[in-house]
Amino acid sequence: MDSSFHAQILDNLSTAVLVLHPDLSLRFISPAAEAMLELSQARSVGLRLDELLPDQLEFIARQHREAPPDGPYTNRGVNISTSSGHTLVVDCTVSPLIGEGRNVLGLVIEIHPVDRIRRISREEGLLTSHETTQALIRGLAHEIKNPLGGLRGAAQLLARELPDPELEEYTSIIIEESDRLRALVDRMLGPHKQPRLLPLNVHEVLEHVRTLLQAETGEAVRFVRDYDPSLPDLLGDRAQLIQAVLNIVRNGVQATASNEGPRVITLHTRVQRQFTIGSQRHRLVCAIRISDNGPGIPEDLRESLFFPMVSGRPEGSGLGLAISQAIVARHRGLIECDSEPGLTDFNIYLPLEADNAKT
Ligand SMILES: Nc1ncnc2c1ncn2[C@@H]1O[C@H](COP(=O)(O)OP(=O)(O)OP(=O)(O)O)[C@@H](O)[C@H]1O
Ligand SMILES: [Mg+2]
Q: Is the pLDDT of residue 273 over 90?
A: no
What confidence tens digit (pLDDT) does each residue in 43-80 have? 999 999 888 888 788 888 888 888 877 788 888 778 88
Q: Is the pLDDT of residue 33 over 60?
A: yes
Pick from 44-53, 126-135, 255-264 the range whose average pLDDT is largest: 255-264
Cα-trace Rg, the chain: 26
In the reported structure, the alpha carbon of residue 161 is separated from the centroid of ligand 2 by a whole-number distance in angstroms of 42
In this structure, which residue's CA is closest to atom 13 in ligand 1?
311
Counting ligands in written order, which one lies closest to the CA of residue 325?
Answer: 1
3-114: CATH number: 3.30.450.20
pLDDT band at 326 (very low <50, low <70, confident <90, very high): confident
DSSP state of 114: -
Say if residues 240 and 204 touch (Cβ distance below 8 Å).
no
In the reported structure, the alpha carbon of residue 56 is separated from the centroid of ligand 2 by a whole-number distance in angstroms of 35
**Range name among 137-141, 147-151, 258-262 with the lowest pLDDT average:** 137-141
CB neighbourhood size of 156 (10 A) = 13
Top-level class of domain 198-351: alpha beta
Give the pLDDT confidence score for residue 121 in this predicted structure.
Answer: 47
What confidence tens digit (pLDDT) does each residue in 141-195 have? 878 888 898 999 999 999 999 999 889 999 999 999 999 888 888 877 766 677 8
Quote the distance between the C-alpha of residue 124 and its chain's center: 15
What are the boundaries of each domain within the chain? 3-114, 118-189, 198-351
Mean pLDDT on 218-245? 94
Quote the distance between the C-alpha of residue 105 and its chain's center: 35
Give the pLDDT confidence score for residue 307 in this predicted structure.
Answer: 82
Share of the chain above pLDDT 70, in %: 91
Residue-averaged pLDDT of the chain = 86
DSSP 162-217: -SSGGGHHHHHHHHHHHHHHHHHHHHHH---SPP--EEE-HHHHHHHHHHHHHHHH
Q: Is the pLDDT of residue 252 over 90?
A: yes
Q: Which atom of ligand 1 is nearest to the CA of 346?
A: 1
Give the pLDDT confidence score for residue 171 in this predicted structure.
Answer: 93
pLDDT band at 253 (very low <50, low <70, confident <90, very high): very high
Q: Is residue 90 classed as helix, strand or coil in its secondary structure? A: strand
CA 250 to each of CA 208, 212, 290: distance values in angstroms, whole numbers, following the listed order: 13, 10, 10
For residues 141 and 81, give the distance between their C-alpha atoms in angstroms, rounded to a whole number: 44
Which residue type is seen at 298?
Answer: P
Do the bridges between strand 221-226 and strand 263-277 make them parallel or antiparallel, or are there none, so unpaired? Answer: parallel
In the reported structure, the alpha carbon of residue 176 is separated from the centroid of ligand 2 by a whole-number distance in angstroms of 24
Residues within 6 Å of ligand 1 by CB? 247, 251-252, 255, 292, 294, 296-298, 301, 305, 310-313, 316-322, 344
In the reported structure, the alpha carbon of residue 195 is separated from the centroid of ligand 1 by a whole-number distance in angstroms of 24
Q: Which atom of ligand 1 is nearest to the CA of 251?
A: 8
What confidence tens digit (pLDDT) does each residue in 281-322 have? 788 899 999 999 999 999 888 878 888 788 999 888 888 998
DSSP 263-327: EEEEEEEEEEEEEEETTEEEEEEEEEEEEE-SS---GGGGGGTTSTT--SSTT--S-HHHHHHHH
Give the pLDDT confidence score for residue 359 in this predicted structure.
Answer: 37
Give the pLDDT confidence score for residue 269 in this predicted structure.
Answer: 95
Cβ contacts of residue 168 below 8 Å, gap of 6+?
159, 162
CB neighbourhood size of 352 (10 A) = 21
Pocket test for ligand 1, best of 184, 301, 311 (most atoms within 8 A of CB): 311
Pocket test for ligand 1, best of 251, 302, 306, 336 (most atoms within 8 A of CB): 251
In the reported structure, the alpha carbon of residue 66 is separated from the centroid of ligand 1 by a whole-number distance in angstroms of 37
**Range name among 111-120, 199-208, 221-230, 331-340 with the lowest pLDDT average:** 111-120
In this structure, which residue's CA is closest to atom 19 in ligand 1?
318
What confidence tens digit (pLDDT) does each residue in 81-118 have? 877 777 788 888 899 998 888 888 899 999 988 764 44
pLDDT band at 275 (very low <50, low <70, confident <90, very high): confident
**116-161 helix and 320-330 helix, angle to the nearest 10 degrees:** 110
Q: Which atom of ligand 1 is nearest to the CA of 344?
A: 1
Cβ contacts of residue 281 below 8 Å, gap of 6+?
87, 274, 275
In the reported structure, the alpha carbon of residue 198 is separated from the centroid of ligand 1 by a whole-number distance in angstroms of 29
In terms of pLDDT, which residue wins out, 221 or 123? 221
What confidence tens digit (pLDDT) does each residue in 238-251 have? 999 999 999 999 99
CA 67 to each of CA 50, 59, 63, 70, 323: distance values in angstroms, whole numbers, following the listed order: 18, 11, 6, 9, 39
For residues 320 and 323, give the distance between their C-alpha atoms in angstroms, rounded to a whole number: 5
Mean pLDDT on 349-356? 74
